[in-house]
A and B are shown apart, each in its own frame.
Chain A
Amino acid sequence: MSTATATSPVRAVTRSRLFWPAVVLVVLLLANLAFTPDFFALHLRGGHLYGSLIDILHFGAPLILVSLGMTLVIATGGIDLSVGSTVAISGALACLHISESTDPGSLATVLTALGIALGTALVLGAVNGLLVAKAGVQPIIATLILMVAGRGVAQLITDGQIITVTSDPYKMIGGGYWLTMPFAILLSALVVLATVLLTRSTALGLLLESVGGNPVASRLVGIRAMRLVALVYVFSALCAALAGLMVSSNVSAADGNNAGLWIELDAILAVVLGGTSLNGGRFSIGGTVLGALIIQTLSTTVYTIGIPPETTLVFKAFVVIVVCLIQSPVFRAKFAARGARTRRTTRSHTAAPTNREVGA
């Protein structure tokens, strides 16, 4: 961070860190309206809400969870590439347990399955955390191990097959409805809320930011960085496991090969779109949620507008570049400066100071 951060106009820009992702999200949604007139329409169908907006939230829920864990990891200056594999492993474990049990529809079976999946994630996260915090392995390498090996483990669990389960309590997690809303949306909203409370109403968030911002200084003021860093990897793995349960529950099947494939990249992108720097330090959970929703809206837009699959990636890349540019303070300042210069030449000299304030 440069020293300019302290001055008041720049603080106004940082305050609008949430503003720009929100603008992009709204623009994307409005773009859909042009192609699908009833895009914002919400119906009550079969006792639950039905509409494109619900779909975006519903399918975005796993990504929001994974990105949430990723945000805290990135805040400490790390990165967690293993989340996609954790998604696959947790779904595979849960579905394997349910499919092998004698009573797949019982709540006890499902709770045991959840226990197994989340317990395993705890161990996986702890391994990542210890590798990074204790052994001092670079985060990208430490988590790369599980990213590569984990997918193999997931395939080993499913025996290379797709495990199909029929269990109503399990279907609830990712495909069920509660109070007319998809349960997955409520669940991820709950986790996000709890995380915000935990990090912002206690000192935890501040400690994470200080560890990420300057590890040496934080150690010197007496913060136990090692424990904190290990903890965020465990948290990230748990979030990923929950997302894995959602993904597999939504389709009632575990696919060790494809579940959560490349979700780590989407999660990193969501965090970055949300305005959290990959260098660590300050983080924004609200921004991350917006980032994840932007990514999901982008996918939905591709489907509804009917962009051919061959050009989908180019379209997505273009939108992401535009969003990143809009979010870059340097780019905005240059853009605004150019605007201000042209205006200054046309206007009288006295108007210049006000323009400058607006531009900054």
Chain B
Amino acid sequence: MSKRAAAALVAGAMVAVLTACGSGGGSGSADKGSGHKLVVGFSQVGAESGWRTANTKSIQESAKKAGVELKFSDAQQKQENQIKAIRSFIQQKVDVIAFSPVVESGWDTVLKEAKDAHIPVILTDRAVDSKDESLYVSFLGSDFVEEGKKAGDWLVKEYAATSGDVNIVQLEGTTGSAPANDRKSGFADAVKGEPKFKVVASQTGDFTRAKGKEVMQAFLKSQPKIDVLYAHNDDMALGAIQAIEEAGKKPGTDIKIVSVDGVKDAFTAMSQGKINYDVECNPLLGDQLMELVKKVKAGESVPRRIKTEEGTFTPEQAAAALPNRQY
């Protein structure tokens, strides 16, 4: 019992410290704004991946650049922490609340409280599953279906001149997760027009390097002919590259690789010609978020759904972008 209490105490203290850090940093640059500065409360999912860390950094830097006071809180992947943070934002009467929901459901009560306090809410990166659409003003984030579609479109173009079968193996993300489902369906839609594209094997690699490598090794043995690998994220692609090399084949040449995310390690691999095409899933949505915050505060109407600006990369573009890649 006392152990649990101690743990709760520590967790509580951590949240308090983090919040304090955020507000402290914000007020430091707030001096010249003379009280009319916008105050934004932001609750992040956690720091579970490089992608997320880059996401956090982007939001913090953009806030500073835009002269917005940011109250930042890290939920450490727990919904209760996030709800606590949002309640504290409401008490502090921030101008706008933004957050990346840890999970999809269970937000109605706390969002209702924000609505009653007349504080607009913006969702970033992940959506909530709520019947009452008035609870938030906008959702800013990636379109995973679109990402899958871009990967498929590239493939169609790349193999436009080929008439024979193109055997594709697919490394899926964590089964049931939104990025995995959507990237799969977007890709399938893009290639379904041409029967020469055949997905001969598709398995989950759980978004991890180790699993990506393991599954790819099995594919290499069970499939007599593999032309293309489509990976739902870069980490799995990087694992698969190792498997392909160990099988004595050349990734990028013997087996063409198309992947999603655009992390630094993948760009390095691309500059070596091991990945042929990478669809960006952009964590750097800070600038877009700040723009949106200002519009919301000014009372302008904003779209319900805003997609992050995302590009695609060929090996040449990746090699050029590599030195400035932040994550």
Contacts and interface: CB of A to CB of B under 8 A. Distances in A.
A pairs with B: yes
Interface of A: 35-36, 39, 45-46, 50-52, 55, 59, 155, 159-162, 164, 175, 247, 250-253, 255, 257-259, 299-300, 302-304, 306, 308-310, 312
B162 interface: no
B175 A51 contact: no
Contacts of B265: 162, 164
Interface string B196-231: 000001111011111101110111011000000000
A316 to B, nearest CB: 13
Nearest to B172: A309
A55 B235 contact: no
A24 to B, nearest CB: 20
Interface string B234-249: 0100110010001110
A251 B213 contact: yes
Contacts of A310: 175-176
B52 interface: yes
Contacts of A46: 248
A251 B217 CA distance: 13
19 contacts: A45-B248, A55-B214, A59-B217, A155-B47, A155-B48, A159-B47, A161-B50, A162-B50, A175-B242, A251-B210, A251-B213, A253-B209, A255-B209, A258-B208, A300-B218, A304-B218, A304-B222, A306-B222, A309-B172
Contacts of B242: 175, 251-252
A238 to B, nearest CB: 21
Q: Chain B interface secondary structure, helix, strand, loop or mixed?
A: helix
Contacts, number: 92
Given A52-B221, A258-B207, 5 more contacts: A155-B48, A160-B48, A255-B235, A258-B210, A259-B210
B34 interface: no
Given A175-B242, A258-B206, A302-B203, A59 B50 contact: no
Contacts of B201: 303, 306
Contacts of A160: 46-50, 52-53
Nearest to B175: A309
B218 A55 contact: yes
Interface string B35-47: 0000000000011
A45 B214 CA distance: 18
A55 B211 CA distance: 13
Interface in B39-74: 46-50, 52-53
A293 to B, nearest CB: 15
B210 A45 contact: no
A257 B206 CA distance: 12
Nearest to A258: B208
Contacts of B176: 310
A257 B53 CA distance: 14
Contacts of A255: 208-210, 235
A257 B209 contact: no
A257 B219 CA distance: 25
Interface in B4-51: 46-50
Given A52-B218, A162-B235, A304-B222, A309 B53 contact: no
